[in-house]
């Protein structure tokens, strides 16, 4: 390339607008494996629900969030930095995809860079983190010294500050790292904090990858070394970092055990899972984030999980996976659960996940099989930009 041409291209790149458009880069899609009992009326109801959501969104120029409870439960959210026309365009893309590729499934969701849309036949607006949450590391790397630490610092602060910010959205730039965090507006501050702590845990192992996203049912995080939102939309996080007690961020952050730095706790209780799982073995081939009929997550304190597993005693170990060991635990109410202890990238960080209730030996065996699948899933999806659908 001629030097002049090269310079022109470089200048064009530098001057191109920071971000524009509805950002419909697909990150995740999941359809329930159950169809509505009356498919044709359900599809019409869903279409009517989407039309209602759309008119409510377009009625307000600043709306980035909308829910509907009739005829179908639905929730839509844009990243706050999208213009209202881009937000509507993202909605249209999402609604068309779910109508064409999931309906008459009785639940589904789609997550793009710019927005997310989910519908169910029962209320779900209070849900934060669900099984299937995942971090998607980009495939470009950035070897700048200190990049990983800068990403880590910004994402940590975003996960703590965002639940305390009205609207549960924050965009920030620090040391050349761009980051956003967002929760759906219908969750509590505590649920938002727990969800973002999971999201943070899902992407803090991504650097030196130059960008990553964390997707979940109730929250979203993303960082990049390149701007992906208009830089006049940032917020000063400092006022939100020290206010309130650490317990405000819920059972997640603040699980300081042993003074070895930050301890992340992730706890998901999957009720009814085994029952459904045993009835229909191919459920485990389901979509990620596809457990649409499950109850909302329950949070546990690290010390309760530690007690339940007798301090992760070897005698309670059910199995070892490439991604972490699984222990049998007995909760205070007598429920027997499997607890997966994930060894995450940094030695000072431990992530714990309750993976489900155990019912008898058969349940145990099925669950371990499912766990193994999950491990494979996570391992194979940790470092890809997109999830295949």
Ligand X SMILES: *[C@@H]1O[C@H](CO)[C@@H](O)[C@H](O)[C@H]1NC(C)=O
The contact set with ligand X (CB under 6 A) reads 33, 35, 39, 43, 47, 51-53, 56, 66, 68, 99, 104, 139, 142, 144, 147, 150, 175-177, 225, 230, 232-233, 385-386
Nearer to ligand X, 86 or 150 (CB): 150
Nearer to ligand X, 73 or 323 (CB): 73
Nearer to ligand X, 232 or 242 (CB): 232
Q: Is 101 within 8 Å of 29 (Cβ atoms)?
A: yes
* Residue 128 backbone phi and psi in degrees, to 5: -105, -100
For residue 163, the minimal CB distance to ligand X (Å) is 22
Nearer to ligand X, 102 or 263 (CB): 102
Q: How far is CA 251 from CA 153, 155, 296, 345, in A?
A: 20, 18, 16, 22
**Token representation of residue 323:** 């991604």
Neighbours of 92 (CB within 10 A): 14
Half-sphere exposure of 205 (CA within 13 A, CB side): 21
Q: Give the separation between CA 227 and CA 173, rounded to whole angstroms.
A: 9
For residue 111, the minimal CB distance to ligand X (Å) is 16
- Residue number of the CB closest to ligand X reads 52
Q: Is 197 within 8 Å of 183 (Cβ atoms)?
A: no
Q: Is 97 within 8 Å of 22 (Cβ atoms)?
A: no
Peptide bond into 305 cis (omega under 30): no
For residue 278, the minimal CB distance to ligand X (Å) is 17
- Could you report how far apart the first and last alpha carbons of the chain are, in Å? 39
For residue 104, the minimal CB distance to ligand X (Å) is 5
Nearer to ligand X, 142 or 162 (CB): 142
For residue 160, the minimal CB distance to ligand X (Å) is 21
The SS3 assignment for 74 reads strand
Question: Nearest 5 degrees, angle CA 195-CA 196-CA 199?
Answer: 95
Nearer to ligand X, 123 or 260 (CB): 123
Q: Is 158 within 8 Å of 196 (Cβ atoms)?
A: yes
For residue 130, the minimal CB distance to ligand X (Å) is 21
For residue 142, the minimal CB distance to ligand X (Å) is 4
């Amino acid at each position: 390339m001629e030097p002049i041409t090269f310079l022109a291209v470089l200048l064009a790149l530098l001057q191109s607008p920071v971000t524009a458009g509805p950002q419909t880069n697909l990150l995740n899609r999941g359809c329930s494996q159950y169809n509505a009992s009356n498919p044709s009326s359900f599809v019409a109801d869903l279409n009517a629900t989407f039309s209602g959501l759309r008119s409510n969104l377009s009625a307000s120029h600043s709306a980035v969030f909308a829910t509907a409870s009739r005829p179908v439960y639905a929730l839509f959210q844009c990243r706050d930095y999208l213009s209202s026309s881009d937000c509507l365009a993202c909605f249209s893309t999402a609604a068309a995809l779910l109508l064409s590729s999931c309906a008459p499934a009785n639940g589904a969701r789609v997550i793009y860079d710019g927005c997310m849309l989910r519908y169910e036949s029962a209320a779900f607006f209070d849900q934060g983190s669900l099984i299937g949450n995942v971090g998607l590391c980009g495939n470009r790397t950035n070897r700048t010294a200190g990049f990983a630490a800068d990403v880590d610092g910004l994402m940590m602060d975003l996960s703590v500050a965002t639940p305390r910010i009205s609207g549960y959205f924050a965009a920030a730039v620090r040391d050349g790292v761009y980051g956003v965090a967002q929760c759906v507006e219908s969750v509590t501050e505590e649920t938002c904090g727990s969800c973002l702590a999971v999201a943070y845990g899902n992407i803090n192992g991504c650097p030196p990858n130059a960008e990553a996203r964390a997707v979940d049912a109730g929250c979203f995080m993303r960082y990049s070394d390149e701007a992906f939102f208009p830089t006049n939309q940032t917020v000063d996080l400092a006022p939100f970092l020290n206010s309130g007690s650490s317990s405000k961020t819920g059972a997640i952050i603040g699980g300081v055990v042993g003074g070895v730095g930050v301890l992340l706790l992730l706890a998901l209780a999957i009720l009814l899972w085994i029952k459904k799982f045993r009835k229909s073995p191919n459920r485990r081939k389901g979509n990620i984030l596809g457990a649409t009929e499950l109850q909302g997550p329950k949070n546990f304190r690290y010390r309760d999980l530690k007690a339940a597993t007798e301090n992760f005693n070897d005698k309670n170990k059910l199995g070892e996976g490439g991604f972490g060991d699984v222990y049998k635990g007995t909760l205070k109410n007598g429920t027997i659960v499997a607890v997966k202890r994930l060894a995450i990238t940094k030695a000072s960080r431990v992530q714990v996940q309750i993976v489900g209730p155990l019912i008898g030996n058969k349940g145990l065996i099925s669950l371990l099989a499912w766990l193994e699948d999950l491990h494979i899933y996570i391992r194979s999806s940790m470092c890809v930009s997109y999830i295949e659908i």
